[in-house]
Amino acid sequence: MQVNSRKSNKVVIIGAGFAGLAASSYLARDGFDVTIVEKLDVSGGRARQLKRDGFTFDIGPTFYWMPDIFERFFNDFGKSVKNYYEIIRLNPAYQVYFAPEQSLTIADNLKDIKKTFESVEAGSGEALQRFIDKSARNYEIAMDELVYQPGESLFEIVTPETITRLPSFFKSIQSDVNRCVKSPYLRKILQFPVLFLGAKPSNTPAFYNFMNYADFGLGTWHPRGGMYEVVRGMESLALSLGVKIEHNCDVLGFEMAGRSITGVETSRGIFKSDVLLSGADYHFTESLLPTEYRQYSPRFWDNRTMAPSALLFYVGFDTKLSKVAHHTFFFDTDFEDHARTIYDTKEWPSKPLFYASFPSITDRETAPPGHESGIFLIPIAPDIQDTPDIRERYFNLVIDRVEKMTGNSLKSHILFKESFSVNDFKSIYNSLKGNAYGLANILTQTHLLRPRIKSKKVNNLYFTGQLTLPGPGVPPSLISGKIASSLIQKHHA
Ligand SMILES: Cc1cc2nc3c(=O)[nH]c(=O)nc-3n(C[C@H](O)[C@H](O)[C@H](O)COP(=O)(O)OP(=O)(O)OC[C@H]3O[C@@H](n4cnc5c(N)ncnc54)[C@H](O)[C@@H]3O)c2cc1C
């Protein structure tokens, strides 16, 4: 791996989340003197780890999708994923419950997935093949021509390929899925991947069906030890390139000279900087600037469609569970009803769908022998009321439903539980409205229409992460770090 020797400009990066870590490595490789200032005592941001009584939980992301993007990231430094952690392809990729003891499992290859579809609806196997062929091509276009663009001009994304696909930006993925299959079960399975983009399937352009290729084509993987191994790998790469990471270093404000930031005021003193890159939530960083240097008003942020927040539980069970997979979805309630409570009525759902992860099924190290680690996630509207009583009510609801759907007895096997929700997202990450996944990727919040990477009002201020380009998720955060660092390189080298 080659590191340029010139260390001209000092770059301070706020936040050691995936985006900040990714950007730090590119900038250090390109000769900048890089320091990350991180509020928390560890790196990883929303992807930190919880350890308790011999159990290990990923606090945030659990799905390792789009392995090609992780590989591309490490390849940029002459390395490979396998130099840092091991990934295992899950089979089944996941299981979905639709009614008590009625579920479908999704295999690790399209041939078997087609058989599963066919067993539910005659003719759907071939329809699925056509759908995935289209989504595979869209994936290629998205990764090669769109998502690595910095969002400076519309011309970046107008290519002969994207022009021919224009109609697919103006119809929803829901309508495409509904044309592909009739079964409500299969429709839910094909609509679920776009939930990673943070919006309703009825509000997500059909072009984004490339997420279905990420699901059925590229597969669901698990880094041995959990998603936090990715953070460790990226941190280790950054440190090897000379990046300095200052933990317990809370950014409180900026020193400015005219339209430029000259220093970052933190709980541990001032860090001088020639360039500032914020990987913390966009709105939070702008709130630290004098009003005249903020690009976006409170009204702008109020009118954005945020990706959901989440209510999460991390549970230690003193027994192994059966009839669940590493990733298990409980889709036994109405998708649209739940989505309405997130995006329209902004209230707690009465019959939530939810997701459960049992990493110890694959990764024995994450729980003591004979025990199971369980993570439960209910997507909810950002900024809704979050109290201990509400959390307890939903915990009981989730456990009851898992018992009913799977036939497992859980209540008497709970050793402990911890929860995380809206108030924690706000207080720990300075998250706008307590969002979990940033800003939804809908047509009106895509590319040029997302908050910009380069500030228009402050000469040397840049943003990265899930609230700017290209959008929410771990792979997009790595891409965001690359885009932001390329712009800094272009403007300040
Ligand atoms: C519960 C949950 C489940 C998810 N599941 C998946 C999944 O399965 N697969 C997937 O691909 N994606 C998933 N995501 C999304 C993914 O985790 C995020 O998109 C990604 O981690 C965001 O990274 P980031 O670097 O943009 O932001 P962050 O991780 O939020 O990093 C920002 C950093 O800035 C720091 N910071 C904030 N304020 C300050 C300050 N004042 N001073 C210094 N530092 C500060 C924060 O502490 C944090 O470390 C999930 C997210 C959540 C929350």
Going from the Cα of 128 to the center of ligand 1, the distance in angstroms, rounded, reads 33
Pair (51, 119) in one structural domain: no
Nearest CA to ligand 1 atom 1: 60
Are 390 and 320 within one domain?
yes
Count of domains for the chain = 3
CA of 253 to the centre of ligand 1 (A): 21
Q: What is the CATH number of the domain that holds 149?
A: 1.10.405
Task: Quote the ligand 1 centre to 19 CA distance (angstroms).
Answer: 8
Q: How many residues does the chain have?
A: 493
Same domain for 234 and 148? no
What's 18's domain CATH number? 3.50.50.60
Looking up residue 423, the CATH number of its domain turns out to be 3.30.519
Nearest residue (by CA) to ligand 1, atom 7, is 61
* Residues 75, 23 share a domain: yes
Q: Do residues 36 and 57 share a domain?
A: yes
Which among 197, 220, 437 is the best mutation to test ligand 1's pocket, defined by most ligand atoms within 8 Å of the CB?
A: 437
Domain presence at residue 96: no
Give the domain range for residue 152.
110-218
Q: Has residue 272 been placed in a domain?
A: yes
Pair (130, 27) in one structural domain:
no
Is 94 domain-assigned? no
Is residue 466 assigned to a domain? yes
3-state secondary structure at position 416? strand
CA distance 462 to 108: 39
Domain C-terminal end among 186, 218, 250: 218
> Can you tell me which atom of ligand 1 is nearest the CA of 46?
29
Task: Write the residue with the smallest CA distance to atom 6 of ligand 1.
Answer: 61
**Cα 401 to middle of ligand 1, angstroms:** 29
Contact in structure between 377 and 355 (CB atoms under 8 Å): yes
Residue 184 placed within a domain: yes
**Domain edge (last residue) among 397, 428, 459:** 428
Q: Are residues 328 and 443 in the same domain?
A: no
286 and 236 belong to one structural domain: yes
Whether residue 293 is found in the same domain as residue 192 = no
In the reported structure, the alpha carbon of residue 322 is separated from the centroid of ligand 1 by a whole-number distance in angstroms of: 32
What is the best residue among 42, 46, 283, 474 to mutate for testing ligand 1's pocket, by most ligand atoms within 8 Å of CB? 46
- Whether 99 maps to a domain, the answer reads no
267 lies in some domain = yes
- Please, are residues 207 and 138 in contact by the beta-carbon 8 Å criterion? yes
Of the residues 383, 398, 428, which one is the last residue of a structural domain?
A: 428
Pocket residues for ligand 1 (CB within 6 Å)?
14-20, 37-40, 45-47, 60-63, 65, 250-251, 279-280, 284, 310, 312, 377, 429-430, 436-438, 465-466, 472-474, 477
* SS3 (DSSP) at 66: coil
Do 354 and 464 belong together in one domain? no
The residue whose CA has the least distance to atom 26 of ligand 1 is 465
User: Would 465 be classed as within a structural domain?
Assistant: yes
CA–CA dist 233, 224 (Å, integer): 12
Asked whether residue 44 falls in the same domain as residue 16, the answer is yes
User: For atom 18 of ligand 1, which residue has the closest CA?
Assistant: 473
- Alpha-carbon distance of 309 to 423, in angstroms, equals 10
Cα of 472 vs centre of ligand 1, distance in Å, is 9
Atom 41 of ligand 1 has which residue's CA nearest to it?
251
pLDDT in tens, the chain (493 residues): 544 444 449 999 999 999 999 999 999 999 999 999 999 999 999 999 999 999 999 999 999 999 999 999 999 999 999 999 999 999 999 999 999 999 999 999 999 999 999 999 999 999 999 999 999 999 999 999 899 999 999 889 888 888 888 888 889 999 999 999 999 999 999 998 988 888 889 989 999 999 999 999 999 999 999 999 999 999 999 999 999 999 999 999 999 999 999 999 999 999 999 999 999 999 999 999 999 999 999 999 999 999 999 999 999 999 999 999 999 999 999 988 999 999 999 999 999 999 999 999 999 999 999 999 999 999 999 999 999 999 999 999 999 999 999 999 999 999 999 999 999 999 999 999 999 999 998 889 989 999 999 999 999 999 999 999 999 999 999 999 999 999 999 999 8
94-99 vs 10-14, strand pairing mode: unpaired
Cα–Cα distance list, 433 to 277, 342, 445, 462 (Å): 22, 13, 17, 22
- What is the atom index within ligand 1 of the atom nearest the CA of 37? 43
Is the domain of 240 the same as that of 162?
no
